[in-house]
Structure formats: structure tokens, C-alpha cells
Amino acid sequence: MTHRRRTTRPTALAAAAALLLAAAGCAPSGPAGPDGAARGGTLVIGATGKLPNTDTVIGGAGFEGKRLVSFQIYEGLTRYDLSRRDAPPEITGALATSWKVAEDRRTWTFQLRAGVDFQDGTPFDADAVVFNLDRYLNEKSPHFTEALGAAAGEYAGGIESYRALGADRVELVTAEPNGHFPEDLAHVLIASPTAIEKTGTKDFARKPVGTGPFSFVSQREGQRVELKANRAYWRGAPKLDRLVVTALPDAAARTAALRSGDVNWIEYPHPDDIASLRADGATIATNGYDHLWYWILDTEKGPWKDARVRRAANYAVNREAIAENLLHGTADPAHQAAPRATFAYDKGGDTYTYDPAKARRLLAEAGYGKGFATSVTVPTGGSGNLLPVPIAEAVQRDLAAVGIRAEIRTTDWTTLISAEADGRVALGSQAVAQSTTLFQSEALLPLFVGSDSPFWTGGYGNKKVDALLASASASPDRERRRADYREALKLVTEDAPWLFVVNDRNPRALAPQVKGLVQPQSWFLDLTTVSVGS
């Protein structure tokens, strides 16, 4: 049966090194394996914000919530290969072992992995895939909700029909050619039909069940999630016994928790704390990944409507000083639209150096020789936002030096992104400061630089960029997509609808007893290799 979908739409804390070394008190270690590495133990992670809804795709806590919770419980037909440090991750098989696309570039056939069970013992098969797609895309499904449909729409919204081809294969047909469809499906998470039918969709988040490396134990909604190793995981059992993720939005509180032993891993330690944490024995893991911290400028009215003004602002910013002096090497300066650790980055596209004199000349050419006043809304925190207010203050000082007087208006992350989703700017500013990803999911790129984005993007639009994005999206050839994306982002860099500031290096601090992390060039992580020793 073919299922056709119905569309819907700071300050460093002083503490003795002994406290940090005691962080392994979070968990006993298990016995050593044949390679001498510790087995077992409990990893306790201090996250930077609220934890996600544990029902598959609903999430709601950005990519941090997805990497630490959702991707640990669930999998899609595909997954990111997070096993290497030296290149952006590529897509590989997860619940599917292989796939092919027909000549129409719309009809995809996925061969499913045999012998996989959900964490409740339910066998995984083609019917389970169809059940989950019904839940996301079929309004007539008893398990469909508008919230699920809206969340799944980001990655599965282009699926026109789907059906099982026996127990071990599924056919998915997209409405339009989609070359990055296998990547999209890494985010279309598959849950146990048995568990959903038992609890109903309303209560499924209380007892979530997937096929991932860790299974659910308990949670305090939004604040703490405890998981245990899935010993029957098809890639091999994780080395850990338990994984606990706790919300610690305050950077000082995260550092204090690591030093006291309440946690043995923290996401994004305050840059000012890094040197002392290293001195106390912590490992600071960093790597470039698909990240940009930037200002979206209102290109429809006022001074920011003139591209010369936008370019002037970009030449006014001392990114190197922000990356090194403020962020202490935990970020790289961003000289163009494409983040450094992406497959579309081209070093030859680096454009905006620190050149205040050139900034002043461009402002004078545009008729703003005496400068102008503007405003920017800045979140006080949130997934991937680094130190948003201090960074914005540094940019504010650089802009003031060339005559651009920017008022900073602060709000919380949820308010900021909710306003953007409604097509407006929180607090009515002429710019928004935030972080984003461009290539961790190619499906999202048109939302940021496409002319028809439903989000507030400063009103930016360039038909040549639209055409290049469409060409890239339709092609299953990764090299073709790379070329199109590079050309598109070269145009975005020239148009300067954004103020490009830094690319984060994704720092995290680990107690000495935490071993085995491979820090990839990605927002996401493979925690199956991690262990906690004594």
C-alpha cells in the first residue's frame, strides 16, 4: 500500500585541582576491556540550556538537545559518520544499509538493516518506518499531531508518498528532486510502534523508545534526562553504563559543577575558565564545525539597505581580537558566509579583513560619513550562541569606532527565535545577533538565504542565490552541490546581508577520567566510544 501524505503545514571560580580530579566520583568505572580502556561508568554532562522534549522529532532545544538526547535514544534511516576529526562528517547507513534513487531523482529505495530491535524488543522493519511516517505526515493517523507534523516538516516535508516493499525495503518519493534527501533522513527519527501504541502520542515522551545506543530511564522534564546503555545496540554496546544530561544554563555554574564532581563533562565552558580548567587536569576538546555567529541586518530599510554600508560594517569588525582575546581561541574569525569547517568552504572566499579605514570610505561613499544610529537584539544565551552579549559589545565598540552607533537590546533565546519564526524582530531592532548552522543540514539553507523564507532574514533575497540553491538541492552529486553552494555563498558574502563575526570551535571540558571522545567537525557526537574510569 502506498501512503500519500496530506500536506500541512564570568568569572573564573577558584577551586583546588583535587576537586576536579574527584569528578569521576560521578560514577564508578567498569572492568577494563582487552585494549586496556575502561568500560562502564556514568557520564554526567552539563548542557548549556533546557533539554528537549524526548518525543522523537519535536525536540525544541536546538542541536545541542538533539546531539545529547534525541540522537542517543533514536536513529533515522541514515546517520552522520562521526568517527573522524579531520573532515566534516558524511552520511552513512543507520536503520538502512543502502539506498538508490531512480532516474526521476524523486523515487528512493532504502534497503533496511536486518536484525535490529527497538529497546523494548520490538523488531524493526518496513512497517515500523511506515508507522512513523504516518505519525509525522498523515493527518488520519491516530498518532499524528500538529506539533509532530510541524517539527517533521523541516526534514520530511518534501516526502510525497511512501510504502513498504516487503519487510526489508521501503520506497520514499519526494515531491521534487532532493539530492540531500539521505542527509535529511538522519533527522527523521524512528520510534517503536509498540511503545507509541501502548502510551499514545500524548504520553510517549514519558517513556520514549528508539533503536539508539542509549535507552530511557527517567527524566525531570527539560532539566535532567537519565539513559542507560542499550546492550543490544546493532553497532555494539556503548562503553558507558549510564548517560545523564542535566541543564546548567549558567556558565559559572557549569564550571563549578565540573570542579565539584557533580558532572564530569560540560558543554561550552566559559572561555575565561579554560586555562585554569586545563591547569586542574581537565581536557578541553575543540574542533571547527558548521557554525556562524553573526548579525542579520535589515536590508529593506534604513542604512542597512545599502550594501556599501553592510560591507563597511564588516570591514569595521576585528574578528581576530574577538576570537583570541575574548573567546581565547575557542572560535575562529569568520571572513565570509561559509563556515570554515564545511564542505562548501573555500579559503579563497575570505573577504572581510579588519580595515577600519576602508569601512569609513565605504560609509562616506554611501552618504553616511558622519555615521548613523542603529539597534540589535541579542539573546542572553541559547544553543550555539557562545557569549552573545560580550561578543555583541565587542562588535558594538568596533562599529562605534567608524561612526556606527549600535544600541544593544537583550532578550531570551526562545523569544528571539519565536519572533523570527513569526517574520519579525524581537524588540523591534534593525538587526538580530545569533548563531546558526548552514550545512549541518542542507535542507535548512534556503531558510537563511532564500528569498521566500518564512522567517525574518532581514528581507534579503538574490535570485541568483535562489537558483544556485535550487540547483544544488536537486542534485544527488555532492561535488555538484559543493560547487553550487560555494558560488551561492560567494554572492551572499558580496551582498553582505549579515555581519560575519566568528565560527565556534565547539569547546567542551572533560574531567580526566573521561576517555575515548572523538571530537568531530560537527554539532553532533558519537558517545558510544566514551568511557569513565577511576
Q: Tell me the C-alpha distance between 283 and 362, whole Å.
A: 45
Going from N- to C-terminal start, the domains of the chain cover 38-74+212-287+506-533, 78-195, 292-504
Q: What does the pLDDT read at residue 31?
A: 45
- Letter string b/e over residues 130-167, b meaning 16 or more CB atoms within 10 A of that residue's CB: bbbbbbbbbeebebbbeebbebbbebbbbbbbbbbeee
With contact defined as beta carbons under 8 Å apart, do 416 and 428 qualify?
no
CA atoms 270, 271, 277, 278: torsion sign: positive
**pLDDT band for position 384 (50/70/90)?**
confident
Grid coordinates representing 530 are 566514551
User: Is residue 474 pLDDT above 80, yes or no?
Assistant: yes
Q: Tell me the C-alpha distance between 319 and 338, whole Å.
A: 15
Q: Tell me the C-alpha distance between 225 and 482, whole Å.
A: 38
Alpha helices in 369-462 (DSSP H): 388-400, 413-421, 445-449
User: Is residue 68 pLDDT above 50, yes or no?
Assistant: yes
Q: What does the pLDDT read at residue 50?
A: 86
Q: What does the pLDDT read at residue 5?
A: 63
Q: Tell me the C-alpha distance between 420 and 454, whole Å.
A: 9
Q: What does the pLDDT read at residue 441?
A: 77
Q: What does the pLDDT read at residue 534?
A: 72
User: Is residue 14 pLDDT above 80, yes or no?
Assistant: no
CATH assignment, 292-504 = 3.10.105.10
Q: Tell me the C-alpha distance between 149 and 57, whole Å.
A: 9
* pLDDT averaged over every residue in the chain: 91
With contact defined as beta carbons under 8 Å apart, do 69 and 210 qualify?
no
Q: Tell me the C-alpha distance between 254 and 342, whole Å.
A: 29
Question: Which residues, other chains included, contact 186 with Cβ-Cβ below 8 Å and sequence gap of 6+?
Answer: 76, 77, 78, 79, 80, 91, 94
Q: Tell me the C-alpha distance between 337 and 85, whole Å.
A: 23
Q: Are strands 42-47 and 265-267 parallel, antiparallel or unpaired?
A: parallel
Mean pLDDT in residue range 157-178: 96
Q: Domain 78-195: which topology? A: Dipeptide-binding Protein; domain 1 (3.90.76)
Grid coordinates representing 501 are 563575526
Mean pLDDT in residue range 1-26: 43
Note the pLDDT tens digit of each residue in 393-408: 999 999 999 999 999 9
Q: Tell me the C-alpha distance between 127 and 212, whole Å.
A: 18
Note the pLDDT tens digit of each residue in 188-227: 999 999 999 999 999 999 999 999 999 999 999 999 999 9
Q: Tell me the C-alpha distance between 153 and 494, whole Å.
A: 31
Q: Tell me the C-alpha distance between 181 and 145, whole Å.
A: 23
**pLDDT band for position 32 (50/70/90)?**
very low
Q: Tell me the C-alpha distance between 510 and 269, whole Å.
A: 10
Grid coordinates representing 407 are 544600541
Grid coordinates representing 209 are 523508545
With contact defined as beta carbons under 8 Å apart, do 85 and 94 qualify?
no
Say what percent of the chain tops pLDDT 70: 93
User: Is residue 15 pLDDT above 70, yes or no?
Assistant: no
Mean pLDDT in residue range 450-466: 93
Burial class for 36, CB neighbours closer than 10 Å (0-12, 13-18, 19+): exposed
The whole-angstrom distance between residue 461's C-alpha and the CA centroid of its chain comes to 24
With contact defined as beta carbons under 8 Å apart, do 366 and 312 qualify?
yes
46, 47, 51, 55: CA torsion to nearest 10: -90
DSSP assignment of 95-139 equals: SEEEEEE-TTSSEEEEEEPTT-B-TTSPBP-HHHHHHHHHHHH-T
With contact defined as beta carbons under 8 Å apart, do 224 and 243 qualify?
no
**pLDDT band for position 39 (50/70/90)?**
low
Grid coordinates representing 239 are 562503553
Question: Which residues, other chains included, contact 330 with Cβ-Cβ below 8 Å and sequence gap of 6+?
Answer: 271, 274, 286, 386, 504, 505, 507
End-to-end CA distance of the chain: 55
Note the pLDDT tens digit of each residue in 51-62: 999 999 998 777
With contact defined as beta carbons under 8 Å apart, do 388 and 10 qualify?
no
Distances (CA, A) of 351 to 333, 339, 436, 494, 530: 11, 13, 20, 8, 39
**pLDDT band for position 28 (50/70/90)?**
very low
Mean pLDDT in residue range 268-281: 95
Structurally, at CATH architecture level, domain 38-74+212-287+506-533 sits in 3-Layer(aba) Sandwich (3.40)
Mean pLDDT in residue range 471-491: 92
Angle between helices 356-365 and 307-316 (to 10 degrees): 160
Note the pLDDT tens digit of each residue in 314-352: 999 999 999 999 999 999 999 999 999 998 999 999 999
Side-chain half-sphere of 468: how many Cα atoms within 13 Å?
A: 20
With contact defined as beta carbons under 8 Å apart, do 249 and 413 qualify?
no
Grid coordinates representing 276 are 585554569
Mean pLDDT in residue range 63-89: 95
Mean pLDDT in residue range 349-370: 98
